Amino acid sequence: GEDVEQSLFLSVREGDSSVINCTYTDSSSTYLYWYKQEPGAGLQLLTYIFSNMDMKQDQRLTVLLNKKDKHLSLRIADTQTGDSAIYFCADRLSYNTDKLIFGTGTRLQVFP
Amino acid sequence: GAGVSQSPSNKVTEKGKDVELRCDPISGHTALYWYRQSLGQGLEFLIYFQGNSAPDKSGLPSDRFSAERTGGSVSTLTIQRTQQEDSAVYLCASSAGLGGVDTQYFGPGTRLTVL
């Protein structure tokens, strides 16, 4: 079946850039999403990218999509301690369903 | 309320007992999802309701798990004869289900502990 993979942990210094990577297996993805989960809370949508785009920028966030390699990344510029959270990438498989396949999540730790 | 709510926030139960977890989606959202989040396991899809269509139950791990959505709104996830491996955070989400980006909005989750 479809699969979405992420590395489990990332640790960065405050002020540096963070890059969180995601790979997926599905060939018919429509939208790909990044969700953020803060401790003790549910997930919140951070940003998304349509599958025919290569890049999307939203303030400190840059999403890169390499559809050939099925690789998605999220870059956070000037990472702050408030960015410490778990980041999930998610793949929407087709236009006919709202169902998402989530990755395992990457725990980002930002230290001073 | 404005967001997705879930109850209870925490549930401790004994092995073998049945539990019911409740989700109140955002008003007007036609799609509702249940996920399970276990330590180190990421987010596991359980079941998806969309309007009046038959639910997608492909993620339910065993026949001890079932879910209902009454009147197209509130949903209940039932776990029968709970086992220790059922311990996890159960997350509910809803979306407008209108195609396009279709953002899922998540509730805070129910933490289930099976002793």
Q: Within an 8 Å CB–CB cutoff, is residue A104 touching chain B?
A: yes
Tokens linked to B37: 């989040």
CB of A74 closer than 8 Å to CB of A63? yes
Closest Cβ opposite residue A42 in set B45, B103, B106 = B106
Q: Which residue from A71, A112, A42 is spatially nearest to B37, judged by alpha carbons? A: A42
Q: Within an 8 Å CB–CB cutoff, is residue B48 touching chain A?
A: yes
Cis? peptide before B8, omega within 30° of 0: yes
pLDDT tens for chain A, residues 1 to 112? 678 999 889 999 999 999 999 999 887 788 899 999 998 888 999 999 998 899 999 999 999 999 999 999 999 999 999 999 999 999 987 777 778 889 989 999 999 9
Whether the CA torsion A80, A85, A91, A97 is positive or negative: it is negative
